[in-house]
């Protein structure tokens, strides 16, 4: 099996991504600068050649029909003296007659209106830079001055050396500084990696990193947010498992006891009675499992829940029609108020249906017990202070305020529910959780004149009614 090579370190990649383009740009800039410097250097040396040619031309004199250079050899050497270069000159008439200087040094004559021209040539195996200067007085003649290019090369080399070395030094210092700066900025990432490497699978606490940049701070915040979501999910799973183990223990033990008791009997009537009790206990256990699953799903949906506009009046109407046969069988007057006009809220239809289901189930279970008058349960929608309030109310015995405050916690039942042996205290916990997920507010209280029980769900800032 061929192992893939390890990927490069982030610090090395960042340093390479910075220095390589910078070095290429520096090389291109240096080449351009060297070219410009060479061009100006050539211009300066050429101007010096032209000045020497002009000085020699100014000393050409006419004697009769002939021209002669009015400078002695010593004077010419003084004019053309150079410590580095070897200089040659030649003076010729227009017809090619040699007047002074090196006879072999000749260039193509300059054609008017041009008065001088530069060119490169070779003499005695030497590469020379030459200029031809044309004069028309006293008679037309040309002066050629040429010199070797050693000085030019030396100047160019020195220019390159003295410009390249400081830039190379600066580039090295920049690379060293960037290396230190990148390592310093990436140190929080190394700390984050080390902290994650030491962490156990069960440790979902927030990570504390000394972030020096916004990116590292954002990454740490994202990881901590992920840990928080995982912690909530794990906690929900643990609570779900604990709730299942705790809440199902009693109904399962009751079913086992009823079955054992029925097996000990010989009367078929006793068998039927026990089977009916077992069926009722199984129904309660099944409902309990459904509530536990709903509660676990509600906790899981907290992170990805998206609210949208739902028709609250339609949901209330469907829930009332669904519970109406059960209310009629129990002799409870089930009604709805405020559903004759469309009402839209920002919510989740499934969660709203879960709220209505649990509230109506509780009201039909406990609301009719102990009522002096005919039992009644009312579902109402009303607009209050710019909000939409959904309420479920019965005319039963009601509950004290301190007991109502405890009902929103899981496993807490009212005294009546404990006496009836129904439910597991999860209904109102589900309602409270659903309301919190949708940003709504749940309030428990009593009905008019302190009678009965009332639960209100207030939806904040609802959209305009359709």
Instruction: Evaluate if residue 399 carries a pLDDT over 70.
Output: no
Q: Of 300, 323, 357, which residue constitutes the final position of a domain?
A: 300
Is residue 324 located within the same domain as residue 454? Answer: yes
Q: 217 and 96 in one domain?
A: no
Tokens of 111: 């054609």
CATH assignment of the domain containing 30: 3.30.450
Residues 265 and 319 in one domain: no
Looking at the structure, tell me whether residues 351 and 248 fall in a common domain: no
Whether the model pTM is above 0.75: no
Q: Give burial (CB, 10 Å; 0-12/13-18/19+) of 138.
A: exposed
Question: Residue 445 belongs to what domain range?
Answer: 308-459
From CA 63, how far away is CA 46, in angstroms rounded? 31
Q: What does the alpha-carbon distance between residue 438 and residue 352 come to, in Å, rounded to a whole number?
A: 9
Whether residues 337 and 232 share a domain: the answer is: no
C-beta neighbour count of 144 within 10 angstroms: 23
Terminal CA-to-CA distance of the chain, rounded, Å? Answer: 67
204 and 229 belong to one structural domain: yes
Annotate 57-79 with b (16+ C-beta within 10 A) or e (fewer).
bebbeeeeeebebebeeeebeeb
Strands 387-394 and 453-459: antiparallel
Are both 127 and 268 inside the same structural domain?
no
Encode pLDDT of 28-73 as tens digits.
887 787 788 778 888 888 898 899 999 988 888 888 778 888 888 8
SS3 call for 342: coil
Residue where a domain stops, chosen among 267, 300, 333: 300
Is 371 within the bounds of a domain? yes
In a domain? residue 178: no
Looking at the structure, tell me whether residues 23 and 142 fall in a common domain: yes
125-177 residue pLDDT tens: 888 899 999 988 888 889 999 998 887 778 777 777 777 778 788 888 888 88
Angstrom distance (rounded) from CA 242 to CA 226? 24
**Which of 300, 318, 349 is the last residue in one of the domains?**
300
pLDDT in tens, 244-259: 665 566 567 667 777 7
Distance CA 8, CA 10 (A): 6
Q: Are 321 and 280 members of one domain?
A: no
Q: What is the count of structural domains for the chain?
A: 3
∠ CA 196-198-200, rounded to 5°: 85
Are 402 and 365 in contact, with CB atoms under 8 Å apart?
no
Same domain? For 343 and 448 the reply is yes
- Tell me whether residue 166 is in a domain: no
The answer to whether residue 222 sits within a structural domain is: yes
438: Cβ contacts below 8 Å, ≥ 6 apart:
305, 307, 346, 347, 348, 351, 352, 459
Same domain for 148 and 281? no
179 occurs within a structural domain:
no
CATH number at residue 414: 3.30.565.10
Instruction: Give me the residue label for tokens 């496993």.
Output: 411
**How far does Cα 313 stand from its chain's mean position?**
42
The reply to whether 248 and 369 lie within a common domain is: no
User: What is the per-residue pLDDT across 201-233, written as a single tens digit (0 to 9) for each?
Assistant: 777 777 777 777 777 778 888 888 888 888 877
User: Average pLDDT in the 303-310 region?
Assistant: 76
Q: In the structure, what pLDDT confidence band is assigned to residue 418 with cuts at 50, 70 and 90?
A: very low
* Residues ≥6 apart with Cβ < 8 Å to 259: 274, 278
In a domain, residue 465? The reply is no
Q: Which residue has the tokens 């339609």?
A: 314
């Amino acid at each position: 099996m061929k192992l893939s090579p390890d990927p490069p370190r982030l610090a090395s990649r960042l340093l390479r991504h910075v220095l390589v383009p910078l070095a290429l740009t520096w090389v291109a800039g240096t080449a351009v600068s060297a070219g410009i410097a060479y061009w100006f250097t050539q211009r300066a040396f050429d101007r010096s050649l032209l000045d020497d040619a002009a000085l020699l031309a100014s000393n050409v004199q006419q004697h009769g029909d002939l021209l002669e250079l009015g400078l002695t050899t010593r004077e010419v050497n003084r004019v053309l003296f150079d410590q580095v270069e070897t200089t040659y000159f030649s003076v010729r008439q227009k017809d090619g007659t040699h007047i002074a200087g090196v006879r072999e040094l000749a260039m193509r004559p300059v054609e008017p209106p041009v008065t001088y021209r530069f060119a490169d040539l070779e003499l005695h195996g030497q590469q020379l830079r030459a200029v031809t200067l044309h004069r028309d007085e006293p008679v037309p003649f040309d002066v050629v001055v040429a010199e070797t290019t050693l000085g030019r090369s030396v100047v160019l080399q020195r220019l390159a050396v003295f410009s390249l070395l400081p830039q190379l030094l600066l580039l090295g210092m920049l690379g060293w500084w960037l290396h230190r700066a990148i390592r310093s900025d990436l140190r929080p990432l190394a700390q984050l990696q080390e902290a994650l490497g030491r962490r156990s699978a069960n440790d979902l606490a927030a990570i504390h990193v000394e972030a020096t940049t916004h990116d590292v701070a954002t990454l740490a915040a994202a990881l901590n947010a992920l840990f928080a979501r995982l912690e909530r999910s794990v906690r929900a799973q643990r609570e779900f498992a604990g709730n299942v183990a705790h809440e199902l223990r009693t109904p399962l033990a009751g079913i086992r006891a009823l079955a054992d008791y029925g097996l000990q009997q010989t009367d078929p009537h006793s068998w039927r009675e026990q089977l009916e009790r077992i069926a009722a206990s199984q129904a309660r256990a099944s409902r309990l499992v459904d509530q536990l699953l709903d509660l676990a799903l509600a906790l899981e949906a907290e992170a990805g829940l998206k609210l949208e506009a739902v028709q609250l009046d339609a949901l209330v109407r469907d829930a009332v029609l669904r519970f109406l046969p059960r209310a009629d069988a129990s002799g409870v007057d089930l009604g709805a108020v405020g559903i004759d006009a469309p009402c839209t809220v920002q919510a989740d239809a499934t969660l709203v249906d879960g709220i209505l289901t649990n509230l109506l189930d509780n009201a039909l279970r406990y609301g009719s017990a102990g009522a002096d008058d005919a039992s009644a349960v009312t579902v109402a929608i009303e607009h209050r202070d710019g909000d939409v309030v959904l309420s479920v109310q019965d005319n039963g015995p009601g509950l004290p305020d301190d007991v109502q405050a405890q009902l929103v916690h899981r496993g807490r039942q009212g005294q009546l529910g404990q006496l009836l042996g129904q439910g597991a205290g999860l209904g109102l916990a589900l309602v409270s959780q659903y309301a919190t997920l949708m940003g709504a507010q749940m309030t428990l209280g009593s009905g008019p004149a302190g009678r009965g029980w009332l639960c209100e769900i207030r939806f904040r800032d609802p959209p305009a009614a359709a």
